[in-house]
Amino acid sequence: CFTAAEAAKLTMKRIVESLEASSGTGITGISTGIGILDNITGGLNNGDLVIVAGRASMGKTSFDIGLQVTGLRNNVATGFISAEMPVNKVAARVMSAWGRFNLTWTRSIPKDAETQARAMHALLESQKWLGQAPLHINDKPGITIAEVARQARQWKRLYDIKVLHVDYIQFLDISADARTPRHEKVGMIVKGLKNLAKELNIPVVALSQVSRAVEDRNNKRPMMSDLSDSSEIEKTADVVITLYRDEVYNQDSADKGIIELGVIKNRDGATGVVRAAWVAEHATVADIDTMHGEYHGY
């Protein structure tokens, strides 16, 4: 138990420590790499459960990989539970996002000599970087929330991870009666992730599906009620960010290359929509203000 004075002192101590660790960025958490989003959320903050939600092909994993690469560039020790994607594909996406080269190069090297030379240089440089990056990956299929917690505690103890990413909630499992409804299982998983964030005092970023109901509306931007399987996500999450790319639905969209990041819940701050750049070649998301000249190195 704490007195009010002790709680206030502890709060100020943590704020000062966070600001000192932010290297002059002025935010209290780990930077997302997208300035306006950082201004709204303060970055990824310790103890917070951050939900990133979107329909298929909206870029959930790409956005999350972008968050990871931003942190890794700043030497933020990162744990990644990849329940959907095998480790080789995770590495390919991380390398492409960091090296800013075409993701297809991780599957098929161009045949012309000049492009092939650039591709190999990019691949080798990104492999070298990733080999030294403080990233730890568990790609076990069907992993349970209990196993996620054990893995995260181990990473915290051995490598002092500063953030945990989970891709994604609906791919996790839980030891429960087979008759337990799916929405109740998801609710237990979400509570488990939130408890883990508090226990380890790190942000946990978890991806989530969005209901098919959005496909039946004219405005297909996800709302809180569209989060799949459980209202517990809405109640438990500290921050909820939805993703929307108009070009997925409208071939002639004026917003090609744009992804909308809808901060629809922010327990400690404002909400709003942030427009960011969708960089299809690297399957990642970038700050529009810094994209020009930065994401075309290869």
Q: How far apart are CA 213 and CA 229, in angstroms?
A: 12
| Contact status, residue 190 vs residue 232, Cβ threshold 8 Å | yes
pLDDT (0 to 100) of residue 186? 87
| Contact status, residue 69 vs residue 95, Cβ threshold 8 Å | no
pLDDT (0 to 100) of residue 107? 85
Q: Which long-range contacts (CB under 8 A, 24 or more apart) does 15-19 make?
A: 18/45, 18/46
pLDDT (0 to 100) of residue 230? 64
| Contact status, residue 49 vs residue 233, Cβ threshold 8 Å | no
pLDDT (0 to 100) of residue 213? 86
Q: How far apart are CA 83 and CA 104, in angstroms?
A: 22
Per 3-state DSSP, the chain is made up of helix, strand and coil in percentages (nearest 5) of 45, 20, 35
pLDDT (0 to 100) of residue 176? 58
| Contact status, residue 156 vs residue 200, Cβ threshold 8 Å | yes
Nearest to 236 by CA among 60, 44, 43, 47: 47
pLDDT tens for the chain, residues 1 to 298 = 878 787 888 877 776 766 665 555 668 899 999 999 999 999 999 999 999 999 988 999 999 999 999 999 999 999 999 998 999 999 999 999 998 888 888 888 778 888 888 888 888 999 999 999 999 999 999 899 999 999 999 999 999 999 999 998 988 987 756 677 878 888 899 999 999 999 999 999 999 999 888 888 999 999 998 886 668 888 999 999 999 999 999 999 999 999 999 999 999 889 999 999 999 888 889 898 755 433 333 2
Q: How far apart are CA 235 and CA 89, in angstroms?
A: 33
* Chain length of the chain: 298
- Number of C-beta neighbours around residue 209 at 10 A: 19
Q: Which residues are catalytic?
A: 84
Helices (H), 138-285: 145-159, 182-200, 232-236, 246-249
> In which residue are the tokens 């704020």 written?
15
pLDDT (0 to 100) of residue 221? 93
- Residue 8, classified by CB atoms within 10 Å of its CB into exposed (0-12), middle (13-18) or buried (19+), is exposed
Question: What is the model's pTM?
Answer: 0.89
Which residues are CB-neighbours of 246 under 8 A, at least 6 positions away? Answer: 253, 254, 255, 256, 258, 260
pLDDT (0 to 100) of residue 292? 44
pLDDT (0 to 100) of residue 113? 86
**Sheet containing 163-167: order of strands:** 135-138, 78-82, 163-167, 204-209, 49-54, 239-244, 258-266, 272-279, 284-286
